[in-house]
Each structure stands twice: as C-alpha cells, then as structure tokens.
C-alpha cells in the first residue's frame, strides 16, 4: 500500500502484460498496485471494471484504519473501479475479463483458480 501505487516499474509491467493479452491479478491489499495503473491510451486499467480488495470494514476490524495510508476501496472507486465487497473474511473473487481480484486472504485460492482458468482458455 505504501510502494505499489506509485511504482513506475509495476505500472509498466501491468500495462505490458494486460495489453499483450495477459492476466493481471491481485488479492487483499495487492490491488493497491492497480489504483494508478494506466493503459497506453492514458485510461486507468480499472476504469469500468469490477474489482475486489480488502474492505474498509476489514481494515477497521483489524484496527488498521489509522495505519494504512489510504482507503483502498475508495481509491479504486475514485479511479473508476466498480468495487465489489462481500461479508468480512469471506472469499470474494471478482473476474472482469483478464483482470482478477480478491478481497482478502480467504480469496487467494479462488484468485489462483481463476488465473489458471483464464490462462488455459487462451492457450
């Protein structure tokens, strides 16, 4: 959450992978890397796409609201993401084309399965 949103290397890799037909995926706090990710045309990758990430309610439950540098859910929404959350700590995997996101650690297995399914479908 501190380094990923502004990492030029991460932004370049995300753009290159996505624009060459690859799968981009992140889970829990990992979707923070997607906040500023832009495509070659300058549009945010997440604009108009359904996404999941660690919820504000989960942050509050683990008493991290005053520790994390920003609200992950709000930041995704501000850049056009269609944020979807589920009940705290339940698995929530959101697939929108070749973008796969998960809400929390309980979502990690499902994110991995979704990635495999997408890769097999394009092979």
Cα separation of 62 and 115, whole Å?
28
Task: Mark whether 57 is an active-site residue.
Answer: no
**Residues 16, 19, 28, 109: which is the catalytic one?**
28
73: closest CA among 86, 62, 63?
A: 86
- Compute the C-alpha angle 115/89/7, nearest 5°: 55
The alpha-helical segments, DSSP class H, found in the chain are 8-19, 56-61, 72-78, 108-122
Task: Mark whether 28 is an active-site residue.
Answer: yes
If phi > 0 it is left, if psi is from -120 to 50 it is alpha, else beta; for residue 90 that is beta
Q: How many CA atoms lie within 13 A of 41 on its CB side?
A: 6
**Residues 16, 19, 29, 58: which is the catalytic one?**
29
Task: Mark whether 116 is an active-site residue.
Answer: no
**Residues 16, 19, 58, 59: which is the catalytic one?**
59
User: Looking at the annotation, which residues are catalytic?
Assistant: 28-29, 59
């Amino acid at each position: 959450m501190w380094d990923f949103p502004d990492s030029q290397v991460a932004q370049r890799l995300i753009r290159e992978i996505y624009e060459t037909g690859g799968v981009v995926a992140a889970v829990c706090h990992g979707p923070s890397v997607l906040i500023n990710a832009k495509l070659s045309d300058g549009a945010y990758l997440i604009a108009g796409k359904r996404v999941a990430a660690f919820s504000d309610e989960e942050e509050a439950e683990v008493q991290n609201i005053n520790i994390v540098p920003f609200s992950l859910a709000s930041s995704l929404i501000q850049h056009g993401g269609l944020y979807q959350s589920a009940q705290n700590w339940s698995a929530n995997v959101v697939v929108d084309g070749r973008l796969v996101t998960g809400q929390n650690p309980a979502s990690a297995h499902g994110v991995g399965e979704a990635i495999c399914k997408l890769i097999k479908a394009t092979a």
